Chains A and B, each alone.
Chain A
Amino acid sequence: MISAENISVQFRQGFLRKKIRALNGFSMSVNPGDIFGLLGPNGAGKSTAMYCLLGLIKPNEGNVSIFGKAPYPGADLFKHVAYLPEEPHYHMYLTVEEAISYYASLYGKPLEKKRLHQIIARVGLSEFRNLKLSKCSKGMKQKVGIAQCLVKLPRLLFMDEPTRGLDPLMVKDFRNILLYLNKKGTTVVLNSHVLSEVEMICNRVAIMKGGKVLTQGSLKDLLSTDTGHYEVDFSARGEIPSYVKVVNKGAESLKAQIPSTMLADFMKFIGDSESRLYSCGIKRSSLEDVFYRVMKGGA
């Protein structure tokens, strides 16, 4: 559905027109039905990558294709695409209702009033529908952005930091909307800093740094990477074996890691020393663990 191959993007900035490489051999692919998360620290090139996918930036090198076609501003393929920008760069002089109606009309068919009001109600802006966007709060603008993505069922939805500025209730509602759209067949590509959110909704992720993708794949595969050790919580009596790596020393117990291969020995130590074992389990990697590991250099 989306493929980006070896994309490089260079900007020139400042008085001396200094070269800045925003993307450096960026490659990714998104399959139909995915909820794809693009992760990375600030300045990793996530937004630039999204602009390339949307055809708003022409890469210096490499190819981008959406539905098998190269994207460019206003291309016909956008009939099936919706986009929520990171910053609320909307038509601020319009009211909430006018803005959503205008963006819907750009798809070539004006939106019926009833449907328009339904969408506005869906994002909880009914009582603010006549408020100018310039007077709206950041969260309200974000809701307008989400609403304009719902004017038709898109085949592909791009979202840049979608939950930025939203209240916790709306964040939950937004997740439901996203999962509903995905169930209906919408493929989603989103950028986010909120790893827990990505972990909750995405099925595939790519982690970026320095303008390139360091790792990408299904979330299941990335998270199931065996950490190779057990996490144990016990109160020790006697000398602790050398293979036990103490993580946290409490008043009553020790939290430690032991290599998977030493589990039997550790159980024997507990029995022999008459220590008490409170818990023992394999720690499943969180996306945060994977993210930090990848950032530190291990894929």
Chain B
Amino acid sequence: MFTQIWANVSTNFKFFRRNRLLLVIMIIMVAVLLLSTMPSFFYLSKTRHLYLIQRVLSQLDGYAMVISAAIGLLLITHHIRNRSLKMVFTKPCLPETWLLSAFVSTIIVAAALYLLILLITSVLFFVWDIPYQWGVVYIVMNEFLKTLITLAYISLLGVIMHPAVVVLFILFFSDNTFLFLKMILASGIKESKGLTVALLKALKFGADAIYMILPSFNPYYDEKAKVYGSLRLTDANWKYLLFTLCYAAAVTMLCYLLSTYFIKKKRLL
């Protein structure tokens, strides 16, 4: 099994390396980052520089998440849609093994991206002679875990749906959308009377149910928000990072199992 996982992972890396769409996404993101931050590099005050590091960190985190999600989605959907998986499954390589390799490949790339972000921000601290703020490590770890959740969820959707539908689905069917909907419905229930209340209550019940099912892409956000503001490790609560780790592991495991189930149900011809 190890040989098969290694063969799949190294093949997946070749896929990432040779995929022009991914290359274009990455070039655009680097260009946008450079264009938006370049002028600020000429600021001289340390406070400005610290603010800039915060901005770069936040932007890079966002890009890393988009790139990781894109490679996860592309990897799964490309192989399903071009039907090359029948070449894999007519060898002694189980769908479980192939999917595990796909998850491992994307997680390795995501980890590499976040390590790069850590390196870039650390270099900026060094270059501008600012005392290193260890909160950056906490933030990068948290962002990596958030990316894991997104990656696992998007990979599951990629097994079931067309990639374009996946993107729309993830944009509209996020936990934030339903949280917002729940709040609107709750205030609507307070203001309404009679039959409308019953209708709104039923709608809220549905929204509650969907909100419970959908994975949260940013668990324990409020408990970790302070570190994002100050970059200080003293503001960090490791307990919530551990909870996020457990949550990410559980979501990844569940999404992996569901993906395995659905890929077996699919006609890969």
Interface residues of A (CB under 8 A from B): 51, 54, 56-57, 73-79, 81, 83, 85, 87, 89-94, 98, 102-103, 105-110, 132, 148, 158
Known: A57-B269, A93-B15, A102-B7. A107 touches B90 (CB 8 A): no
Complex partner residue of A93 from B4, B19, B93, CB under 8 angstroms:
B19
Q: A81 to B90, Cβ gap below 8 A?
A: yes
Interchain nearest-CB distance for A195 vs B (Å): 25
Q: Which B residues are CB-close (under 8 A) to A90? A: 84, 87
Q: B89 to A73, Cβ gap below 8 A?
A: yes
Q: A110 to B7, Cβ gap below 8 A?
A: yes
Complex partner residue of A103 from B83, B87, B264, CB under 8 angstroms:
B87
Q: How large is the interface on B (under 10, 10 to 19, 20 to 34, 35 or more residues)?
A: 20 to 34
C-alpha gap A148/B84 in the complex (Å):
14
Q: Which of B4, B6, B96 has the most CB of A within 10 A?
A: B4
Please name the residue on chain B nearest to A47 by beta carbon: B269
Interface residues of B (CB under 8 A from A): 3-4, 6-8, 11, 14-15, 18-19, 79, 82-84, 86-98, 264, 267-269
Please name the residue on chain B nearest to A78 by beta carbon: B92
C-alpha gap A110/B5 in the complex (Å):
12
Known: A76-B92, A106-B91. 13 other contacts (CB 8 A): A56-B86, A56-B268, A56-B269, A73-B89, A74-B92, A74-B95, A74-B96, A74-B97, A81-B90, A89-B86, A102-B7, A105-B6, A108-B3
Q: A74 to B93, Cβ gap below 8 A?
A: yes
Q: B3 to A105, Cβ gap below 8 A?
A: yes
Q: Which B residues are CB-close (under 8 A) to A79? A: 92
Complex partner residue of B91 from A78, A85, A91, CB under 8 angstroms:
A78
Q: B14 to A106, Cβ gap below 8 A?
A: no
C-alpha gap A74/B5 in the complex (Å):
13
Known: A74-B94, A79-B92. A91 touches B4 (CB 8 A): no
Please name the residue on chain B nearest to A92 by beta carbon: B82
C-alpha gap A91/B87 in the complex (Å):
9
Interchain nearest-CB distance for A84 vs B (Å): 10
Please name the residue on chain A nearest to B18 by beta carbon: A93
Q: B18 to A106, Cβ gap below 8 A?
A: no
Q: A75 to B92, Cβ gap below 8 A?
A: yes
Q: Which of A77, A105, A106, A109 has the most CB of B within 10 A?
A: A106
C-alpha gap A54/B267 in the complex (Å):
12
Q: Which B residues are CB-close (under 8 A) to A85? A: 86-87
Q: A94 to B11, Cβ gap below 8 A?
A: yes
Known: A89-B82, A89-B87, A102-B11. A73 touches B92 (CB 8 A): no
